[in-house]
Amino acid sequence: MFEQMDKDFILHSYARNYVNFTHAKGAVVWDEKERDYIDLTSGIGVVRVGHANPRVSEAICDQAKKIVHISNLFLIEPQAKLAKSLVEKSGYDMRCFFANSGAEANEGAIKIARKYGEVDGEPKRYKVITLKHSFHGRTISTLKATGQEKMHHYFGPYPDGFVYADDIDHIEALLDDHTVCVMIELVQGEGGVEPQDKAKVQALAKLLKSKDVLLAVDEVQTGIYRTGELFASNVYGITPDIITVAKGLGNGVPIGVVMTTLKDIFSPGDHGSTFGGNYLVTRAAYEVLEILESYKNSGGLDEAMLYFEERLRGFAERYPKIVEKDVGVGLMRGLRIRSAELLTQLIKKAFEERLLVLKAGRNTLRFLPPLTITREEIDTGFARLEKAFGAVEV
């Protein structure tokens, strides 16, 4: 009944799977027939502290009973507290602007860079360099910032001023008098779970600093402890000029943030959002950060990362005819599968075993589990994955 309703009334922009989930807990979701699925996707990298986390649910309910929204024309106490928490936990001397999604956070980053490139109100420097396999969002300018050619099929004309580098090594050759910013993901997510080389990233950061070109790091997927620290930028030992965050910060409530060292870049009226950073989402996100900080400090996060990685590596070793290698950082992991056809089979078989996994790039089986996933959930998930591997035809 709901499947038909969905088909009749929702635009068909997703290749939707018609399972109807009704409730969830930790890394387990149940459908309307009470069948349990292990979720190794956390809703495409969102549900950081597990589904229906009691502390986050309590914060949301408590806030909903008090005040949900008033607009950014007034002080929003949990927004200020969240900004302070993000900045202090990151170790970067920055200020925040709150949006509602990753794409919107990246729009903010592009606006900050373009404003930085203006001299006397003239757009003297405006070019933003991104990478060919990048993904930065679905709005018109973040689609244009996304380097994957297949994303540019319709929707033109696009805004000018985006240039694509083949890889990090290629960026220097593209710098010119109009370049104001380089925007990269430190571990490409949608592009195929592709970590950048640490030494190269550090050299790039140094080069850009010397040329007064901004470095924006898109941490929409890598941020919020996904790679072991609050930001992948912390793991890589760099200080970007701009960081964008979304996905995991709200554990499911829609939130995006652009953070920058350019603390006075905006004046009132330069940028805005009706919903951005309202009471509800910032209260939830504040709680998420508190939970994750103590989880990290207790050693729980490192333990989960190690165990997950070790178990996943076992698949690469046991199934060399299917898996080329295991890839990733922290709990942003993947198995490079030998062909796109095998990957499609595997995802289908995994679903039949009630295991949720993701595809990335052309041939990567991607795992973005909740960071608080338990050993038992990992074991159950991987037992189901083992069955899926056993059922594919090589």
Ligand X SMILES: Cc1ncc(COP(=O)(O)O)c(C=O)c1O
Applying CB under 6 A, the span of 97-105, 271-279, 305-313, 350-358 interacting with ligand X comes to 97-105
Q: Does 276 bind ligand X (CB under 6 A)?
A: no
Q: Does 216 bind ligand X (CB under 6 A)?
A: no
Minimum CB distance to ligand X smaller for 220 or for 284: 220
Minimum CB distance to ligand X smaller for 51 or for 226: 226
Q: 368 near 248, Cβ under 8 Å?
A: no
Q: Does 246 bind ligand X (CB under 6 A)?
A: yes
Q: Which of 42, 53, 101, 282 binds ligand X (CB under 6 A)?
A: 101
CB of 103 to ligand X, least distance (A): 3
Applying CB under 6 A, the span of 69-77, 102-110, 270-278, 333-341 interacting with ligand X comes to 102-110
- Give the residue at shortest CB distance from ligand X: 102
Angle at 270 between CA 264 and CA 274, to 5 degrees: 115
Minimum CB distance to ligand X smaller for 214 or for 257: 257
Strand order in the sheet with 28-31: 21-25, 28-31, 36-39, 355-356
Exposure b/e, 96-126, CB count within 10 A at least 16 = b: bbbbbbbbbbbbbbbbbbbbbbeeeeeeebb
What's the burial of 229, exposed, middle or buried (CB within 10 Å: 0-12/13-18/19+)?
Answer: buried
> Cα 191 from chain centroid?
12
SS3 state at 375: helix
Q: Does 137 bind ligand X (CB under 6 A)?
A: yes
Q: How many CA atoms lie within 13 A of 44 on its CB side?
A: 8
Question: Total residues at the site for ligand X (CB under 6 A)?
Answer: 14
Question: Which one-letter amino acid corresponds to residue 253?
Answer: V
Q: Which of 92, 97, 126, 135 binds ligand X (CB under 6 A)?
A: 135
Q: Does 361 bind ligand X (CB under 6 A)?
A: no
CA–CA separation, 108 vs 218, rounded Å? 11
Q: Does 192 bind ligand X (CB under 6 A)?
A: no
Q: Which residues bind ligand X (CB under 6 A)?
A: 101-103, 106, 135-137, 185, 189-190, 218, 220-221, 246
